Chains A and B, each alone.
Chain A
């Protein structure tokens, strides 16, 4: 029975994510004084890709890359409690805590990297090395923030962290631990890979980056993952810092706002070079993270 609810949750998340992606693309276009795609464009892209019949594979790892990647995204979904107080939509969060989620992100990255690696296109590898490089320092402030809230709540269980934030906005981590929230939100910019941290797959310099060789079903899977991953990361931050959600409505609103924030920043700021962005995360965000631990 559990599995049915889990699949239902996944279905909701995918649809929500596709809609959100479409809306945000349109908003970004408007910022750039363009009209933009219709909000249902991501559906069209996805269906088109899954429907393409001519497909090429460069080998086993190329073939399995998207599987790993999607497993990573779905895995985070599976181990994340979605709706607080709702046993049905807590998924398999009893199997592991926050640390599991943090490390599960790596599985997808590794799979993508391996698949793209066997694809053999130099652009893919350049994108991957950049992505990995940036990722190492993005994680630093986030880790510090996680340690800070683990000290604050004396738990690593996401459900318990959400539970501790119930009772109004003043109980959110945002209010009780603004430094940790600040550090984490800055590293969130890096995780979402919008500008100024989007040199990994910046079309102008590095056409598409890692997914260069992927097409058809493979690309469809990567897109599906992107959708799930984006929403799930927003939900993770919602759970950790913004009081979680007690029903789907609140979840949609909070997730949208959290997701909107890197898009907003990306629309305003130009792009960093990769060595600049690597260093950037070790300055202000890390300093905030350290302060978050000191002043907890």
Chain B
């Protein structure tokens, strides 16, 4: 094996020899430097491989034949190998990335580049603190050299600020080293650790100075203006080096020197980390400059890693896993983003939409940002999970709250940014992507994916089967060049196969009714709703992998047996649905609020799972039932995540616009299928926490009120909507409130209502949205008042909507009535009269928008431009009629779903259910016979129809513009369509219920964040002297803090 000393030798040798090539061909110089860098990378990689594959022992290298403390000693251990490999790989990729930059600036720049990496390598390996100081200086100066050699004015000024700051820091370090030598007598780090310097007289000052210098090297918030300016003004390729290599090295220094301070220093480091993590991420929210945001994010992540380091004792043997999974994700993703930023070469994130037409770049950006956010399947997800769970295990909930809060801040700006990259681009500027610039980012994303798989296996939490969906999604991604028709068939086939395996082969034999039902909704529903995909032309790039991920996330939810599996599936489903929504033309803003609410909800759920783990020590979902002491907390926290998904009142504001702006065939998927994940989650939660757990009994009562008010407000808002999709979307809020109310009753009948209504809601909501989408597909407008009279053009769609609204409104003889009837019985038996009355009222309010929906689209005079419309495409109609058949079957014979659900529920709720006698269902209160009602109704309707038919055989059908009738005005038929602002009087009377109070409150909170961030930001003046003062003040404050001065 090549010894680590060669790293120095080769780097140094190359750097000097580059001097000879100054005038020669720059390609040769670059080639030389590149091969040196590659060889250095090879050496470190080879050591890493040795440590990983066969128990290589840590080795010490003593230079000049002396033993320490008289010689400089280098150490090569596993950690060193990891860090060196990381740094050198980044160096190699940076060299590729900076190819033309380096060539342009010539051999001097290459020399400096080479020396920078040599410096960093030695800093990692050395065990002598003075030597560390020297090479730290070398790397600082070379870094500044790289920046200044760019010869851009603001880069030069930021380079000088960097120089001033690092000068102060190194003086502090130097004084510390002198003091340490004076009091401890050795500069060999191992000796310093062993000698307990803290307890030697004066030693604590030495330790303080050394460690504070190291902390300052990590650019802690708020003494970091100098570093931020570098991030902002240097070429992004150099930003990548600062973030990926320099920051990583600094972390390693802290890791190496922290033992000198002993346990007493863990907490101060942790608190420094907290301030950095929260502060930077908070300020990041208000930033617009891409590179500066990356700087903030980078500093924030370093803060997180400092927190993790300080908690190493609590994390125990999981420390390495957590630390490295987060570190490596951060390192790869951040560098990748810097590189992309360099390709785009725009300062403002608002201008990033230039990549709108470059799917490859969008995918790369997405991968990097989601990695930073710690979403599955990226490696940081597993790291965060283990971090939170282990912290929970030792009861560190303050830390958990801080970490999740900071992550949430980070999510805000990263996702906002991601949304901006997808904004419509009116600017026709063409983006030129050079191969050598994109190559490092591509490699980095591959490394992320590879590392994802490795972390997942390493974590031991995931079996291989969880990768199948990802494999399929990747395959579909690879086949993205195929036309949409073929990909749609593939997607349908995949989901069909999945549902066969899951429902037919697994749950039906197990007779697990709950999972059969939700499997049916999630997967059979998916098959149906994929049909309209056939109407799309072209390629629909990126659509199918996401669809597969979303549906397999949903399937993963019902398969989950542990909180980890559940959370994984939940996040995956959320993420995929977010990406599906954001594909809509104007969905950027709304998908942002969707993902923010979802992330906040998911984090709450995360804390809840952590709390449950803290108490029970198990991550099994069933263990939720054993939570006693913290039952209320767990219950609320987990429930919030689900309430967000079903858009309960207060957290509903994301829903209407998201549904409206999503693609027309995505809307039915999310509205009728995806929301049911929240219902399923609530069912799982309530089954274990409310039923088997006596400790948390009041929460369902609160949930019941939330459900009732959601039902009221959702329906109230729906009636005033002029956008047809929004109308149906608001109605979803109402119906979900209704289901929530049913569940919260915690009675047999309440649950029977809620679960069976979940099926019914799936059927009619999918039906309505499909019908509406089919109509929009033809009319090309979503404004309901611009339609009208379409019954003659689209009779089949009319039938769909008619069946849909009759079911929604709960009129007999269709199955919607079953819901209403059971509901009355449940409410009266439960004794929740007032909440129940609110829900009934909202049910009647639903009539208003049902009528609006059908009248404004289909009835009244037809508009001029719609006179030649055709019935919608058959691909929209097929699923509609399958759904209608479903509705009709359970309308005539509701027993087929109600009886098995009732049997299943009687396991959990031995209380009163439905008693079946033939087709008559009864409770102690009332009775109802759907089959008979249907027969009576059909007979009566038939007889009356025949009477009318016989009496009006000579009826003359009049067309439009027969102005004797209808009060029509031929020149402007739209003026007689009473459609716009249809319920104005109702608005006048009860419109206050629809005031956007909640939306305004949330917006106020969001604006306040910005305003506060704006004030804090003024702290960074951009003046080097002020920054120097910040550093000194930081040191003083820190000293006072750890010595109890505050």
**Hey, which bits of chain A sit against chain B, CB under 8 A?**
50, 53-61, 63-64, 66-68, 70-71, 74-75, 78-79, 92, 94-100, 103-104, 106-107, 109-110, 113-114, 117-123, 125-126, 128-130, 132-133, 135-137, 139-140, 143-144, 147, 150-151, 154-157, 213, 216-218, 221, 273-276, 278-279, 282, 289-290, 293
Contacts and interface: CB of A to CB of B under 8 A. Distances in A.
A132 B847 contact: yes
Q: Which 5 A-B pairs have CB atoms at the shortest separation, nearest pair first?
A: A156-B926, A117-B859, A97-B926, A278-B989, A275-B989
B791 A125 contact: no
Contact of B985 (A53, A139, A218, A275): A275
A151 B833 contact: yes
Contact of A132 (B806, B828, B834, B851): B851
Contacts of B881: none
Contacts of B932: 92, 94-95
A228 to B, nearest CB: 12
Interface stretch (B128-136, B280-288, B337-345, B961-969): B961-969
Contacts of A136: 841, 844-845, 847-848, 986
Interface of B: 789, 791-792, 795, 798, 802, 806, 809-812, 817, 820-821, 824-825, 827-828, 833-834, 836-837, 840-841, 844-845, 847-848, 850-851, 854-855, 858-861, 920, 924-929, 932-933, 936-937, 940-941, 944-945, 948, 951-952, 954-958, 962, 965-968, 976-978, 982-983, 985-986, 988-990
Given A59-B957, A100-B928, A216-B952, A78 B940 contact: yes
Contacts of A123: 967
B891 to A, nearest CB: 13
B859 A67 contact: no
Given A56-B965, A103-B810, A67 B944 contact: yes
Given A144-B837, A147-B833, A156-B926, A58 B937 contact: no
Contacts of B817: 100, 103
B940 A94 contact: no
B944 A74 contact: yes
Contacts of B844: 135-136, 139-140
B877 to A, nearest CB: 18
A71 B968 CA distance: 30
Contacts of B845: 136
Q: Name the residue among B802, B806, B810, B841 with the largest chain A CB count within 10 angstroms.
A: B841
Contacts of A78: 936, 940
A71 B948 contact: no
Contacts of A67: 941, 944-945, 948
Contacts of A121: 965-967, 976
A95 B936 contact: yes
B825 A156 contact: yes
Nearest to A66: B948
B820 A61 contact: no
A290 B837 CA distance: 10
A289 B929 CA distance: 29
Tell me whether chain B's interface is mostly helix, strand or loop, or mixed: helix
Given A55-B956, A57-B958, A75 B928 contact: no
B748 to A, nearest CB: 17
B708 to A, nearest CB: 13
Contacts of B836: 147
Nearest to B845: A136
Contacts of A53: 954
B948 A110 contact: no
Contacts of B810: 103
Chain A facing B: main interface SS: helix
B951 A217 contact: yes
A106 B952 contact: no
A135 to B, nearest CB: 7
Given A71-B944, A110-B851, A279-B989, A95 B933 contact: yes
Given A71-B941, A99-B821, A132-B848, A147 B828 contact: yes
A53 to B, nearest CB: 7
B848 A70 contact: no
A195 B99 CA distance: 87
Contacts of B789: 120
Given A53-B954, A95-B936, A143 B840 contact: yes
A158 B958 CA distance: 45
B972 to A, nearest CB: 13
A120 B956 contact: no
A140 B952 CA distance: 39
Contacts of B812: 96, 100, 103-104, 107
A51 B936 CA distance: 28
Contacts of A139: 840-841, 844
Contact of A157 (B927, B948, B966, B990): B927
25 contacts: A79-B933, A94-B920, A95-B929, A95-B932, A96-B812, A96-B926, A97-B925, A99-B821, A100-B817, A100-B821, A104-B811, A110-B806, A123-B967, A128-B855, A129-B982, A136-B847, A136-B986, A139-B841, A147-B828, A150-B828, A157-B925, A217-B952, A278-B990, A279-B989, A293-B837
The CB with the most chain A CB atoms within 10 A, among B802, B812, B929, is that of B812
Contacts of B965: 56, 58, 119-121, 213
Contact of A71 (B795, B940, B952): B940
Contacts of A96: 812, 821, 926-929, 933
A294 B243 CA distance: 67
B957 A122 contact: no
Contacts of A58: 957-958, 965-966
A181 B948 CA distance: 39
A61 B952 contact: no
Contacts of A118: 791, 858-860
B948 A126 contact: no
Contacts of A150: 824, 828, 925
B992 to A, nearest CB: 11
Contact of B952 (A55, A95, A130): A55
A213 B966 contact: yes
A117 B855 contact: yes
B967 A122 contact: yes
Nearest to A74: B940
Nearest to A58: B958
Given A57-B958, A221-B948, A128 B851 contact: yes
Contact of A97 (B791, B928, B955): B928
Given A117-B851, A136-B841, A275-B989, 5 more contacts: A63-B955, A96-B812, A114-B802, A117-B860, A136-B847
A93 to B, nearest CB: 10
Contact of A110 (B811, B858, B956, B986): B811
A266 to B, nearest CB: 21
Contacts of B956: 54-57
A196 to B, nearest CB: 15
Contacts of A109: 847
A132 to B, nearest CB: 5
A260 B840 CA distance: 29
Nearest to A101: B812
Q: Which of B977, B985, B990 has the most CB of A within 10 A?
A: B985
Given A70-B944, A154-B924, A278 B985 contact: yes
B948 A217 contact: yes
Contact of A155 (B811, B821, B851, B926): B926
A57 B965 CA distance: 10
A135 B825 CA distance: 23
Contacts of B860: 117-118, 120, 125
A110 B851 CA distance: 8
B955 A106 contact: no
A61 B945 contact: no
B927 A133 contact: no
B791 to A, nearest CB: 6
B702 to A, nearest CB: 21
Nearest to A215: B965
Contacts of A218: 948, 952
Contacts of B841: 136-137, 139-140, 143
